[in-house]
Structure 1
């Protein structure tokens, strides 16, 4: 078990944190070589062993942001408290800037739109029409919308820049543990889940600003399992709207059988609405084999989601919304 954990932490540090969060890279690769800390983590329930959850729990407990040798000493001395927090809280990276990679597709769909997000946390990604966007493309900078909160995104083709903010008339989310955006402590935890590092500093400010927007008019979020709640929630969407079912970094928490069941559920929802459903997926490679089979074999997808629309890959989307690349799929 510790060998598998070591590989997980080494992969997290070298593949995901490298170049974007030097401190987390140092912590993760340090743990990968540390039998003592690996043994502590191995004693946690499987769902609790994720690097981001353990690291956020440590920071919530007052961990210093120091290099691994010093941090390891603190972690060893405070492990019981860290483990308690990790068991009691969940990993819900509710990154509102992901909307910058959703709007290019949402703007193409005939409206009005009904948005249904699975794994929605506080619902910050259910508000794409309440933010503004600044797309930096080869041909220049394009500003879309006039809201106070601006989501920046670098795109690799001017044709990918949306021309309008989508019209949204209905929005719902499904989550096992919904977050109330009016709960300051819950938003503090979401902010703690943001990785430390210069590439992420702006994310905390945007998250808090988006949470204020959500708190003023919270989206409806249904507490439940997406495999159980999806058909009923989808059926409540207005008939005169195009239903958009979407998710980001959710399917990795399901096993392969559950992922297949989810895809089948989306097909059932589509059939029930006479085909007026669009499914947008932002997931890491490996989550959806049918999508992966259509991705160019030599394409590097590290640090990015493979965005697909109705099962067809259309772009690489930065995991935190900072980049959007369509040229690999021309």
Structure 2
């Protein structure tokens, strides 16, 4: 551990407080700001591997074990008094926010893809974003799909190409290094712990429960392993006659830069359509040069289409998107 490690971790938590959580979760913004100035909590984090120091992972682990901490003092106490279990949970688990609300942006991009489609999601977690055809949507009063238990409301700006209907999906394949089972009580509890406290918490918990029930009734095919290593195998599982679509949301940001570039090169070499929702700067080229802090960039085949809310609910279409 070096001074640079400490500085990077402080910067990571300050950014989370000031950019990523400030509007959607005031409590998590407060907790992250407190961690950035707490030497004891920083020492705890710096004893972990660098990829395991994420704010999302720390707060989710404490919530998973003890419920959401009500403030910095309670967070500090939980880590101090139950540090071994918090550490073990952070080492064993991953940040796998599986938000079905992101499918509203996904279906706008899928509208430009000739169907039927075979979906491959890398970083699929419990696979809840592999069912865009089973959800229903409301884009500022424009309704898409038959009413579903997972009904997604999305506000928009710009010429969002709202599709006439949900996509025709003939295959669903997930790739994840640590797949979650939507029917497993422990995995469901972890997914709930990953939901940030705040104004949208109740709606997100309801969506999660409804989507998990649907996915448990019709589980997708899931390959355990690395997204680069197993993507060709996933592609081979799709039936003939469909358009292969590889997609991901908030996944590449957790990869080392070299591995990220290797994945992008692989996708570009395959005969697939490619839909990404990632933080600004994560994707190479034009798709990495647009967007705003705390938002995602929706891109099709590397071309930026829109800026979207990280947990769904808003799409701002780009000029020429």
TM over 0.5: yes
Is 1:80 the equivalent of 2:84? yes
1:310 to 286, 298, 301: 301
Give the SS at the match of 1:211. helix
Task: Name the CA distance, whole Å, in 2 between partners of 1:47 and 1:249.
Answer: 14
Q: Residues 202-281 of structure 1: matches in 2 within 5 Å?
A: 202-270=203-271, 277-281=272-276
Q: CA deviation at 1:247?
A: 0.4
Is 1:151 the equivalent of 2:152? yes
Give the SS at the match of 1:152. strand
Is 1:125 the equivalent of 2:129? yes
Q: CA deviation at 1:294?
A: 5.2
Distance 1:158 1:313, change over 3 A: closer
Q: Deviation per CA, 1:41-67, whole angstroms, max 9, x where unpaired? A: 110122211101011111112155312
Task: Name the CA distance, whole Å, in 2 between partners of 1:76 and 1:184.
Answer: 27
1:274 aligns to what?
none
Q: Mean Cα displacement is larger for which, 94-103 or 69-78?
A: 69-78
Kept in 1, the 8 Å contact 2:281–2:289? The answer is: no
Q: CA deviation at 1:284?
A: 0.5
Q: Mean Cα displacement is larger for which, 258-267 or 284-293?
A: 284-293
1:185 aligns to what?
186
Task: Name the CA distance, whole Å, in 2 between partners of 1:293 and 1:166.
Answer: 27
Task: Name the CA distance, whole Å, in 2 between partners of 1:293 and 1:3.
Answer: 25
Q: Deviation per CA, 1:59-109, whole angstroms, max 9, x where unpaired? A: 112155312134323432222221121112111111111101100111221
Kept in 1, the 8 Å contact 2:281–2:288? The answer is: no
Task: Name the CA distance, whole Å, in 2 between partners of 1:249 and 1:228.
Answer: 19
Structure 1: 5+ residue stretches without partners: 271-276
TM-score, normalised with respect to structure 1: 0.92
Task: Name the CA distance, whole Å, in 2 between partners of 1:197 and 1:132.
Answer: 24
Q: CA deviation at 1:293?
A: 5.7
1:48 aligns to what?
52
**Alpha carbon RMSD of aligned pairs, Å?**
1.5
Kept in 2, the 8 Å contact 1:26–1:67? The answer is: yes
1:286 to 281, 285, 292: 281
Kept in 2, the 8 Å contact 1:294–1:312? The answer is: no
1:21 aligns to what?
25
Task: Name the CA distance, whole Å, in 2 between partners of 1:62 and 1:294.
Answer: 40
Structure 2: 5+ residue stretches without partners: none
Task: Name the CA distance, whole Å, in 2 between partners of 1:93 and 1:247.
Answer: 12
Give the SS at the match of 2:270. helix
Kept in 2, the 8 Å contact 1:63–1:71? The answer is: no
Give the SS at the match of 2:66. coil
Q: Mean Cα displacement is larger for which, 62-71 or 207-216?
A: 62-71
Task: Name the CA distance, whole Å, in 2 between partners of 1:54 and 1:14.
Answer: 17
Kept in 2, the 8 Å contact 1:135–1:143? The answer is: yes
Task: Name the CA distance, whole Å, in 1 between partners of 2:78 and 2:105.
Answer: 39
Q: Mean Cα displacement is larger for which, 72-81 or 83-92?
A: 72-81
Task: Name the CA distance, whole Å, in 2 between partners of 1:200 and 1:102.
Answer: 21
2:93 aligns to what?
89
1:320 to 311, 314, 319: 311
Is 1:301 the equivalent of 2:305? no
Q: CA deviation at 1:125?
A: 0.4
Task: Name the CA distance, whole Å, in 2 between partners of 1:81 and 1:294.
Answer: 40
Task: Name the CA distance, whole Å, in 2 between partners of 1:177 and 1:42.
Answer: 23
Distance 1:126 1:196, change over 3 A: same
1:7 aligns to what?
11
